[in-house]
Amino acid sequence: MHSKTNTKILHGDVKPANILLDDKYVPKISDFGISRLIARDKQHTGSIIGDMSYMDPVYLQTGLLTEKSDVYSFGVVILELISRKKATHSDGGSLVNNFLEAYKKEKKATPLFEEEIAVTEDLDILDSLACIVVECLNLDVDQRPWMTNVAERLLIMDPSRKS
């Protein structure tokens, strides 16, 4: 989306509901409604639109939507997958804040993983995913990885690709 097209596309609303899986479980990004609302020559939006649970805090503060805003949102999506929790808890707590605090303390996020998926043989992959999430959620936009880097790292983790 950021690197495979001639025209740069900023999604602005990356969340699980906008990631569809085909019959081979290959993800497809959908709902580019917000990206159409942003003028092609601008990255600033007059109003903030989208699901706040997945939204880049820098975008919320500045109105500046960048490729790294989508990276932040993707980090929240991966966090939901490995924790099996929603980005915003019903009690008002934030999954992102809880995760980052736990990771900062432990340098691991094992306590936040869903017990069913935190089996011993998967812990290395989960820890690698947690590391990617931490990088994607960095409040310093310049320290976030590019989506191409995230995609490469995810492909390396795919056990079906190993010989």
Residue numbers annotated as active site = 13
**Distance, CA of 114 to CA of 103 (rounded, Å):** 15
**Distance, CA of 9 to CA of 20 (rounded, Å):** 18
Task: Please name the residues in contact with 126: beta carbons below 8 A apart, sequence gap of 6 or more.
Answer: 82, 109, 110, 113, 117, 118
Greatest Cα-to-Cα distance within the chain, rounded to the nearest angstrom: 50
Nearest residue to 70 via CA among 141, 129, 125: 141
**Distance, CA of 36 to CA of 2 (rounded, Å):** 15
The answer to whether the CB of 132 falls within 8 A of the CB of 78 is yes
**Distance, CA of 100 to CA of 46 (rounded, Å):** 30
Local structure of residue 4 (DSSP, 8 states):
S
